[in-house]
Structure 1
Amino acid sequence: MHNVPAQRPDRQRPGGNAFLAALFVDALGSGLYLPLTLLFIHEVTGLSVTTVGLGVTVAAAVGLAASPVAGVLVDRFGSRTVLIGTYLVRALGFALYPLVGSFPALIAVAAVIAAGDRAYYPATSSYTAAIASGADRDRLYAFVAMARNIGFGLGGLLSTAALTLIGGQGFAVMAVVNAVSFLGAAGCLALAAPRPVDESARPAEPVRRRGGYRSVLADRPFLSLVAAEQAFTLAHSVLPVALPLYAVTVLDAPPAVLGVLYTLNTALLVVGQLPVRRLQVKARRTHALALGGAVFAASCAAFAATAYLPHGGWQLAGLVAATLVYTAGELMHTAPSSALAAAVAPAALRGRYLTVYQLTWGVAAIIAPAGFSALLDVAAPLLWTVLGLSLVLACTWVLRVSRGLSDAALYPLPATAPTPSVSASRPRARQPDLRGEPGSRQDTDA
């Protein structure tokens, strides 16, 4: 039997409010261009859409290749320092976009931004883990998702207003405003405390970083979580990638409905994150993660079923219902996924661990457009069947892996002290010597 987690106070170190402010300012600026990425770059640089598409693809590949370096930098210099660096790098990149006039220049600037994007995610997750522990860490991950979704939503509204009021010149304004937003985000973190947060709480005896990525690749339970996470991150690509193609080309739905579905999804992600997190706080993170994956799989069945509804209002209602189920899956997956990865990772190698975990999003960004399109071309139900089955397999795998993880990784709330008989019967994960219990004094971003 597993011990029932006891409710004990969690700890959050200074820096959380400034961190959330930085994320909001960042997302507000990014929301200006993200819904119109290719069109934005085309208008700002004057290059053809084909050239822009090829350049962005090459840049994305460069950014993905640079990801392992981000993990090393986080472990060496601290997540806060690297996070500020990603803001400054991307501010420079967006400031240079209006000066781009050739394909090589586009690749150079876009690759710098892509590398900053790829380093941003493990740095963000590591910083979250560094300033919070236990259930408070799950709560902070929920706040992170809220801050970003609010910023993206407001940024999208501002981009519409800018294009309506200024016209074509609005794209150049977006580039400048986004660059300024990155500088503002960096300032929020830089002014948070005179001494870096991830250096102010170091353990008395520094933990040596041994093994590097070899230690990560030797951690079988963690790699099993990464394999399952790949299916979940592909599911996150349904709304921006698969649904537009499916709704317009298969269901012949009006394109305007996509904006309604996106707005509905974003609004529910903002208001639902904390209530869902409160329901998950006493559950195992792996159970919460598997339940989120099961709801994702149910949404695949719901999207597939809309094709068999009468065309028109019934199909639109079916899309709305399927989007609601899909959004519930997103809400259930986000916080436990990030918190579980951070809890499994040893503090001294957290940057490398979370970089590997975050690679699933980069892989999904590469294979989802081509893969989803190919499956839809063969047969629309094939996409939902393949994705749904992969999610069911991932959920089963997560539950299997949970048997080899410690209570400290499994539960947001600390567990009560085990009796000798229970402790002796509980399987433990094979972990490197440097691994410390999350939430202890060694659980810092050293």
Structure 2
Amino acid sequence: MDATDRLPSQVKALIVARAVNQLGGFSLAFLTVLLTRSFGTSLTTAGIVSAAFGLATIPSRLAGGRLADHWGRRRTIVAGLVALAVAQLGLAAAPDLITATICAVAMGLAFELFEPPSQATIADAVPPARRASAFELLTTAVAAGSLAAGVIADIVGRWSLRWLFVVDAGTGLACAAIVALALAPDAVRKPEHGAESDQPATSAISPWRDPALLIATVSGTVFALVSMLMLSALPLALGAVGLNPASAGLIMAASTGTLVLARPVLRRRWLAELPHSATFVLGYLLMAAGLCGYAVAHTLPALLVPTALYSLGNLLVLGRSFAVVSELAPASASARYLAVYGLSWGVATLLAPLVGTWLIGVSGAGLLWGVSAGVCGVMAVAQPWVVRRVRDSQRDLGVIHSTKAAVDRYDAVSI
């Protein structure tokens, strides 16, 4: 039986909805290009505006985790998607740079709201042993939406970059409609005043006090930065070597095709049962090889093999990263744990436009890809240590919690 058949219906619906949303999901990659071409801004100014978008995604992610716990996951997902669509339409119609900047920041504030509740829904519905596979399936489904999105981006982007944001807004609203119809109504439990429970008050657990989560988040930030450099700087890098920036859509479509075709291999037992450390090493080495290929390739056909290598490595690292974090989180705090971990993507979204435009400005696209490949090589060496530290911290924290629980029970009996 295929792993997809064993997934709960709500998880299947969420995966389908995210794939639909991704049909227009290439607008972010063209934000800096839109700013430079439509408003005549310098590369530096465009990078600063894109960084402001990235900065706004940080409180967005935290708000998404808190709203999911206190307001409901379905409501949070739908509200985030609708707000993002409104901001994208505003950017598409912006008459000047000031309006475009305001809309870009509004996009950032809505951009991550739906991520923590989406990831928490999957983490809570799927057993720990299958979470890596479930998150990889989510990534592959999103990539399947990207396959069509790459073609749309190439066609629409050659005509008008503004219409990319209109298309993205439309698919976001379609995703919101699917979630509203397919996911079960929210039932957020509120503890009664004065009520007592035999279970620990997990709602009071602060993810910021979990050293294992903080270590994983630092590591995840490095991975996210490389991923966001690839996304945000690819159109500019193609332009730097004389290719049409809109061809980034075709490159991303090739990336998606690789993931869809490789899905049967990724389901093989030997790969699914690899330890986290070995999978991280394999993933980072594949990413490094692909990025090295980008550094020396200057035609679209020459970019196909590096794209395949990078995409496979990125998928392996991403799936295991969310699986590790979901294993750390208490059941009632999964959204907040995933929200804190997701800050890595907010930080990366903030830094990537600044780093990417600076590296390309200093020495062209080759320096960008070379530095990114070097970072992946370092992470291939460092990630096993990170996994060990996370497990050691998790074990130590478990001993502390067990000891505290035993003391509390002893005090209760003594009283």
Alignment partners' CA distance in 2, 1:154 and 1:163: 14
Say yes or no: does 1:353 pair with 2:344.
no
Match of 2:409 in 1: none
- The alpha-carbon deviation at position 385 of structure 1 amounts to 5.8
Match of 2:410 in 1: none
- Alpha-carbon distance change, 178 to 303 in structure 1, aligned in 2, over 3 angstroms: closer
The secondary structure found in structure 2 opposite 1:283 is coil
Structure 2 counterpart of 1:332, from 297, 316, 331 = 316
- Alpha-carbon distance change, 218 to 389 in structure 1, aligned in 2, over 3 angstroms: farther
Alignment partners' CA distance in 2, 1:248 and 1:360: 28
Match of 2:307 in 1: 323
Say yes or no: does 1:280 pair with 2:271.
yes
TM (norm. structure 2) is: 0.76
Structure 1 counterpart of 2:397, from 416, 430, 442 = 430
Match of 2:125 in 1: 131
Match of 1:60 in 2: 54
Alignment partners' CA distance in 2, 1:211 and 1:296: 39
Say yes or no: does 1:290 pair with 2:281.
yes
Structure 1 counterpart of 2:383, from 378, 398, 409 = 398
Alignment partners' CA distance in 1, 2:4 and 2:18: 26
Alignment partners' CA distance in 2, 1:84 and 1:205: 34
- Alpha-carbon distance change, 64 to 114 in structure 1, aligned in 2, over 3 angstroms: same
Cα RMSD between the aligned structures?
4.0
- The alpha-carbon deviation at position 26 of structure 1 amounts to 1.0
The secondary structure found in structure 2 opposite 1:370 is helix
Q: AA paired with 2:306?
A: A
- The alpha-carbon deviation at position 85 of structure 1 amounts to 1.7
Structure 1 counterpart of 2:173, from 183, 196, 199 = 183
- The alpha-carbon deviation at position 86 of structure 1 amounts to 0.9
Match of 1:221 in 2: 212
Q: Which moved more, 1:340-349 or 1:373-382?
A: 373-382
- The alpha-carbon deviation at position 320 of structure 1 amounts to 4.1
- The alpha-carbon deviation at position 292 of structure 1 amounts to 0.9
- The alpha-carbon deviation at position 27 of structure 1 amounts to 1.0
Match of 2:407 in 1: none
Match of 1:267 in 2: 257
**Deviation readout 1:255-292 (Å, 9 max, x if unpaired):** 48756543322210232245224343212233312321
Structure 1 counterpart of 2:354, from 370, 376, 389 = 370
**Deviation readout 1:234-266 (Å, 9 max, x if unpaired):** 3324533556666664xx464487565433222
Alignment partners' CA distance in 2, 1:71 and 1:25: 23
Q: Give the % identical residues.
A: 22
**Deviation readout 1:43-101 (Å, 9 max, x if unpaired):** 9xx75546876544433322324432222222323433321221121233234445544
Alignment partners' CA distance in 2, 1:232 and 1:271: 24
Alignment partners' CA distance in 1, 2:257 and 2:107: 28
Query: For the Cα contact (< 8 Å) 1:75–1:350, is it kept in 2?
Result: no
Structure 2 counterpart of 1:195, from 171, 178, 185 = 185
Query: For the Cα contact (< 8 Å) 2:140–2:263, is it kept in 1?
Result: yes
Query: For the Cα contact (< 8 Å) 2:89–2:169, is it kept in 1?
Result: yes
Say yes or no: does 1:30 pair with 2:15.
no
Query: For the Cα contact (< 8 Å) 2:228–2:348, is it kept in 1?
Result: yes
Match of 2:327 in 1: 343
Match of 1:240 in 2: 231
- Alpha-carbon distance change, 36 to 24 in structure 1, aligned in 2, over 3 angstroms: same
**Deviation readout 1:339-371 (Å, 9 max, x if unpaired):** 222122222222222122222222222223332
Q: How many residues align?
A: 387
- Give the unaligned 5+ runs of structure 2: 190-196, 403-415
Alignment partners' CA distance in 2, 1:193 and 1:254: 43
- Alpha-carbon distance change, 27 to 400 in structure 1, aligned in 2, over 3 angstroms: same
Match of 2:134 in 1: 140
Q: AA paired with 1:13?
A: P
Q: AA paired with 1:26?
A: N
Alignment partners' CA distance in 2, 1:110 and 1:42: 14
- Alpha-carbon distance change, 181 to 373 in structure 1, aligned in 2, over 3 angstroms: closer
Alignment partners' CA distance in 2, 1:224 and 1:397: 12
Match of 2:144 in 1: 150
Query: For the Cα contact (< 8 Å) 1:38–1:49, is it kept in 2?
Result: no
Query: For the Cα contact (< 8 Å) 2:150–2:252, is it kept in 1?
Result: no
The secondary structure found in structure 2 opposite 1:428 is helix
Say yes or no: does 1:18 pair with 2:13.
yes
Query: For the Cα contact (< 8 Å) 1:59–1:110, is it kept in 2?
Result: yes
- Alpha-carbon distance change, 287 to 149 in structure 1, aligned in 2, over 3 angstroms: same
- The alpha-carbon deviation at position 329 of structure 1 amounts to 1.3
Alignment partners' CA distance in 1, 2:74 and 2:178: 11
Pairs within 5 Å for 1:107-122: 107-122=101-116
- Alpha-carbon distance change, 52 to 239 in structure 1, aligned in 2, over 3 angstroms: closer
- The alpha-carbon deviation at position 161 of structure 1 amounts to 4.4
- The alpha-carbon deviation at position 102 of structure 1 amounts to 5.1
- Give the unaligned 5+ runs of structure 1: 1-7, 410-426, 435-446
Say yes or no: does 1:76 pair with 2:70.
yes
- Alpha-carbon distance change, 293 to 18 in structure 1, aligned in 2, over 3 angstroms: same
Alignment partners' CA distance in 1, 2:313 and 2:357: 22
Q: AA paired with 1:334?
A: L
Q: AA paired with 2:281?
A: A
Alignment partners' CA distance in 1, 2:359 and 2:203: 43
**Deviation readout 1:145-194 (Å, 9 max, x if unpaired):** 12212222313323444567xx55x945x555443322221221121155
Alignment partners' CA distance in 2, 1:198 and 1:10: 28
The secondary structure found in structure 2 opposite 1:123 is helix
Alignment partners' CA distance in 2, 1:189 and 1:333: 27
Q: Name the one with the larger helix percent.
A: 2
